[in-house]
């Protein structure tokens, strides 16, 4: 059974979990009608199923390689990228003025997610371009926008993000790359950057690097960082590519997974760059871009989870063993524990997907209405969508291998590739620990107001379900109350380490509870149907996990740091 993009699921969620009408009543997204939505998702689904999914194994078996300074990508990847570009999928959310489609983020998210499920290592290329498009839309000069955006949107050129240096990972402020003003509107950029996804390749004619660097005399730390656009080939005024710039690919990493995505060490030697945003405004510009990139990475986790789930289900239904079970298929899917694994996988994919779409929806409403509460909602949900989406990617891929039994570790079955490919998603774009710290610190700077409003809304939804599903509603409502208490406890901690000590369990609990409420809402739209059954499984068996997590979340730092580094090493 080959990969099939989960078009039905996205349409169901957009129609029933989100208030799609409210979005369609805004001027900005009035064209994203139900018909347009369905047509777009079906068209993207076709691309994923027919063009991209067949490339996924190529990337793994024939990794991108560096030959004489030139990166050669995996077989078929150039054609695959071209198909994505020509379908308009790179710029689906971009400004129509520069060739974008101006569609809402819920559609971009859905399409990115289904492309990840089809071939995550290739999908990472347009995802990086999307981040760059967004950064330039917000912070680029008009000249930069006019020159670069049409090329990035059409896929003639691609974009990358250059943050990390060997000594500066999660601590971006420690970076040492330098920029010197050339006095002609350009800057000379020098330094080495690592982990540059799609840093070099042969699928497009130019590669535009967004590079964080420090101007002479700039302060230490994140405050002193500026953002520069550094193209591989310096564009001529007419948009054709000109001279080679002072940027080169030092090496490609040998990675656990994502072999089809070239991860480069990039060297900048007095490369010509253009300032994006104000001097020393680099981190602010990066943050605009990172928030959406984080949602995008969360979607990569969900996409791979979907693919791993489909792969495992297909194997299970095909594998006849033992006596015929409940549904009489005679397959291992009728064995209780295999069924448990499959249902858990599906229920978590649903929850993670619904959380990601809810986050995208909040972004859309914020962008369409300018309403600060929607902006705050999106900001709150972003770290949850990123961390829970990618944790789900890892967990579902792990369980998928388990469903395969011994075949799971045989590389030819391709079951293990999902776990290898998705592993980095819990790390890049801010590790999931960083996401959790963002949630309990920056996203709680409002004193927990955004979280409280979300919990209020969730409880209203839950109350609507109570007459039909009293048990499920009660479990969800109690869980919301526990989340509320935990949030209040967190917000009351002035010593941030008391928050950080339990940040990850807090985030996981929040995702569990959000997932439960979204499952319940789905049950309301499918009474007696399969979505109600799935919701029941999730709410009565998986939701209870939140209580233990919240105990951990509120345990504080003292007992944690009481286990000293000496004790750890003893």
- Ranges within 117-146 binding a second copy (CB under 8 A): none
Residue 421 sits at φ, ψ, to 5 deg, of -65, -40
Interface with a second copy: number of residues (CB under 8 A): 97
Q: Is 559 in the site for a second copy (CB under 8 A)?
A: yes
Give the x-and-dash track for 394-433 against a second copy (CB under 8 A). Answer: x---x--xx--xx-xxxxx---x---x--xx-xxx--xxx
Q: Which of residues 314-343 bind a second copy (CB under 8 A)?
A: 317, 321-322, 326-327, 329, 331-343
Helix axes 336-369, 503-524, angle to 10 degrees: 90
Residue 468 DSSP symbol: T
The verdict on 257 binding a second copy (CB under 8 A) reads yes
Cα–Cα distance list, 254 to 63, 258, 419, 431 (Å): 9, 10, 16, 20
Does the active-site annotation cover 344? no
Tell me the C-alpha distance between 12 and 401, whole Å: 28
For the CB of residue 309, give the shortest distance to a second copy in the complex, in Å: 9
Q: Find out whether 451 and 373 touch, Cβ atoms under 8 Å.
A: no
Nearest CB to a second copy, comparing residues 266 and 360: 266
Of 302 and 401, which CB lies nearer to a second copy in the complex structure?
Answer: 401
Tell which one of 174, 218, 234, 525 touches a second copy (CB under 8 A): 174
Q: Which of residues 182-211 bind a second copy (CB under 8 A)?
A: 194-195
HEC per residue, 298-361: HHHHHHHHHHHHHHHHHHHHHCECCCCCCCCCCEHHHCHHHHHHHHHHHHHHHHHHHHHHHHHH
Of the candidates 429, 449, 545, 557, the residue annotated as catalytic is 429
At its nearest, how many Å lie between a second copy and the CB of residue 394?
A: 7
Q: How far is the CB of 129 from a second copy (least distance, A)?
A: 21
Does residue 530 interact with a second copy by CB under 8 A? Answer: yes
Q: 42 and 10 in contact (C-beta within 8 Å)?
A: no
Grouping H, G, I as helix, E, B as strand and the rest as coil, residue 387 is: helix
- Residues 437-456, interacting with a second copy (CB under 8 A): 437
For residue 62, give both structure tokens.
């024939």
236 versus 251: smaller Cβ distance to a second copy: 251
The CB-of-389 to a second copy minimum distance in angstroms stands at 16
Contact between 62 and a second copy by CB under 8 A: the answer reads no
**Which residue from 102, 169, 246, 281 is in contact with a second copy, where contact means CB under 8 A?**
169
Q: Which residues neighbour 71 within 8 Å (Cβ) at sequence distance 6 or greater?
A: 64, 65, 199, 200, 201, 202, 249, 252, 262, 264
CB of 413 to a second copy, least distance (A): 10
Residue closer to a second copy by CB (options 343, 453) is: 343
Q: Is residue 307 near a second copy by the rule CB under 8 A? A: no
Q: What minimum distance in Å lies between the beta carbon of 224 and a second copy?
A: 16
> How many angstroms separate the Cα of 428 from the Cα of each of 87, 194, 463?
27, 12, 38
What tokens appear for 144 in the block? 């930069």
Nearest-approach distance from CB 130 to a second copy, in angstroms: 21
Q: For the chain, what is the largest distance between any 2 Cα atoms, rounded to a whole number of angstroms?
A: 79
Q: What is the token pair recorded at 448? A: 């927990």
- Residue 544 interacts with a second copy (CB under 8 A)? yes
Closest to a second copy by CB, 412 vs 460, is 412
Nearest to 74 by CA among 259, 252, 300, 255: 259
User: For residue 234, which phi and psi values (nearest 5 degrees)?
Assistant: -75, 125
Q: In 3-state terms, what secondary structure has residue 273?
A: strand
Q: Is residue 12 near a second copy by the rule CB under 8 A?
A: no
Q: Which is nearer to a second copy, 258 or 444 (CB)?
A: 258
The residues with which 241 forms a beta bridge, in sequence order, are 235
Would you count residue 500 as binding a second copy (CB under 8 A)?
A: yes
Region from 49-57, 109-117, 381-389, 497-505 binding a second copy, contact rule CB under 8 A:
497-505
The residue (of 237 and 562) whose beta carbon lies closer to a second copy is 562
How far is the C-alpha of 300 from the C-alpha of 313, rounded, in Å?
A: 20
CB of 446 to a second copy, least distance (A): 22
Query: Is 44 a binder of a second copy (CB under 8 A)?
Result: no
Contact between 547 and a second copy (CB under 8 A)? yes
Instruction: Give CA–CA dist 361/564, Å, rounded.
Output: 44
The CA-based dihedral angle spanning residues 459, 464, 466, 472, taken in that order and rounded to the nearest 10 degrees: -60
Residues with catalytic roles = 429
């Amino acid at each position: 059974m080959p990969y099939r993009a989960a078009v039905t699921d996205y349409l169901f969620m957009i129609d029933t979990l989100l208030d799609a009408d409210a979005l369609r009543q805004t001027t900005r997204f009035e064209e994203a009608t139900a018909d347009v939505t369905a047509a777009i998702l079906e068209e993207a689904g076709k691309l994923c199923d027919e063009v991209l999914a067949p490339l996924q194994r190529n990337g793994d078996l024939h990794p991108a390689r560096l030959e004489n300074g030139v990166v050669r990508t995996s077989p078929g990847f150039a054609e695959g990228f071209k198909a994505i570009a020509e379908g308009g999928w790179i710029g689906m959310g971009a400004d129509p003025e520069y060739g974008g489609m101006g569609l809402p983020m819920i559609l971009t998210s859905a399409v990115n997610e289904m492309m990840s499920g089809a071939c995550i290592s290739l999908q990472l290329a347009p995802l990086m371009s999307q981040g760059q498009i967004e950064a330039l839309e917000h912070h680029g000069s008009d000249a930069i926008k006019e020159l670069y955006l049409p090329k990035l949107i059409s896929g003639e050129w691609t974009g990358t993000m250059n943050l990390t240096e060997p000594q500066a990972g999660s601590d971006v402020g420690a970076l040492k790359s330098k920029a010197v003003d050339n006095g002609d509107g350009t800057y000379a950029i020098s330094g080495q950057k690592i982990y540059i996804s799609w840093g070099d390749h042969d699928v497009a004619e130019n590669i535009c690097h967004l590079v964080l660097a420090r101007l002479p005399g700039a302060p230490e730390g994140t405050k002193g960082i500026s953002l520069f656009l550094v193209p591989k080939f310096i564009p001529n005024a007419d948009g054709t590519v000109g001279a080679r710039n002072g940027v080169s690919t030092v090496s490609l990493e040998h990675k656990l997974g994502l072999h089809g995505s070239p991860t480069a060490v990039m060297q900048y030697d007095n490369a010509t760059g253009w300032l994006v945003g104000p001097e020393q405004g680099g981190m602010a510009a990066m943050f605009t871009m990172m928030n959406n990139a984080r949602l995008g990475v969360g979607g990569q986790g969900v996409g791979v989870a979907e693919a791993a789930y489909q792969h495992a289900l297909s194997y299970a239904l095909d594998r006849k063993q033992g006596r015929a079970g409940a549904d009489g298929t005679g397959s291992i899917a009728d064995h209780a524990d295999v069924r448990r694994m499959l249902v858990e996988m599906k229920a978590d994919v649903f929850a993670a997907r619904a959380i990601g779409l809810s986050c995208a929806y909040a972004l859309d409403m914020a962008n369409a209405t300018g309403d600060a509460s929607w902006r705050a909602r999106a900001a709150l949900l972003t770290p949850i969508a990123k961390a829970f989406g990618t944790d789900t990617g890892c967990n579902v891929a792990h369980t998928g291998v388990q469903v395969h039994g011994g075949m799971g570790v045989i590389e030819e079955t391709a079951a293990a590739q999902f776990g290898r490919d998705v592993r980095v998603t819990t790390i890049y774009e801010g590790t999931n620990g960083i996401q959790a710290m963002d949630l309990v610190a920056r996203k709680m700077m409002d004193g927990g107001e955004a979280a409280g409003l979300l919990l209020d809304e969730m409880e209203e939804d839950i109350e609507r379900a109570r007459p039909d599903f009293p048990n499920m509603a009660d479990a969800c409502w109690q869980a919301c109350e526990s989340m509320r208490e935990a949030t209040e406890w967190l917000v009351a901690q002035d010593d941030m380490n008391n928050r950080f000590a339990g940040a990850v369990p807090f985030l996981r609990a929040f995702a569990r509870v959000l997932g439960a409420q979204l499952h319940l809402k789905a049950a309301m739209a499918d009474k007696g149907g399969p979505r109600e059954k799935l919701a029941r499984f999730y709410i009565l068996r998986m939701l209870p996990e939140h209580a233990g997590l919240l105990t951990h979340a509120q345990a504080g730092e003292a007992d944690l740091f009481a286990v000293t580094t000496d004790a750890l090493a003893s």
